[in-house]
Amino acid sequence: MGVSMPGHSYRGALPPLSPAQAELQSRLHRHIETLAGTIGERNLHRYSALQAAARYITEVFEELGYQPVAHPYHVRRYRVQNIEAVKPGSPETDEIIVIGAHYDSVRGSPGANDNASGVAALLELARLLRAQPVAREVRFVAFVNEEPPYFYSDAMGSLHYARQAAAQGERIQAMLSFLVQASSTYCPFHSTCA
């Protein structure tokens, strides 16, 4: 079954950014620069960088007024964690929407496109929704270990999260996963973003 978007693709020169859009662009760039540039490659082969990325994400959630929670587990001798920030919904429903992105990168790459850009989008959506009322609880989750050799294995962060939610009988109604591809004109790491 395919999914399509209504409407038409935009053609032509883009209009100038509004001040709010320019500010958003700056924040997105800062997140990508921090994760892919300052921290760089983030995986179990560079464990200290993986932990630095987790700290950065936690700090941003805290700056936004959330109370992030780490969901730790072990892979070999390493303690890794998914990081969750929750936007409460209406008390009339226990339904949950999960919005996620993975913060690890493939070995040998700073991971600007895959997936610092997705984490940047996750953090900024959390910023945009923090003051908005929502009908269902929204959980912003930064997943760990989604890249090889861990994807499709028991070490995947999203699998751990899903199993934990199922064991607790949580009513997750939808999940949106960000894998955002930054354009080479925007990405600060042109050779790694293409």
Task: Walk me through the domains of the chain, giving residue ranges and CATH numbers.
Answer: 19-193 (3.40.630.10)
Residues that are catalytic: 146
Whether 3 shows a pLDDT value over 80: the answer reads no
Q: For the residues 182-186, what does the mean pLDDT come to?
A: 45
**How far apart, in whole angstroms, are the C-alpha atoms of residue 39 and residue 114?**
14
Q: Which two tokens stand for residue 68?
A: 């992030």
Q: For the residues 167-189, what does the mean pLDDT come to?
A: 74
pLDDT value, residue 2: 59
Amino acid letter, residue 175: M
Q: Is 126 in a helix, a strand, or coil?
A: helix
Q: Model confidence over 96-126: pLDDT tens digits?
A: 999 999 999 999 999 998 999 999 999 999 9
**How far apart, in whole angstroms, are the C-alpha atoms of residue 33 and residue 26?**
10
Q: Model confidence over 5-62: pLDDT tens digits?
A: 688 888 899 899 999 999 999 999 999 999 999 999 999 999 999 999 999 999 999 9
Relative to beta strand 137-143, strand 78-87 is antiparallel
Q: Is 142 in a helix, a strand, or coil?
A: strand
From the number of C-beta atoms within 10 Å of its C-beta (0-12, 13-18, 19+), residue 104 rates as: buried
Q: Model confidence over 151-164: pLDDT tens digits?
A: 889 999 999 999 99
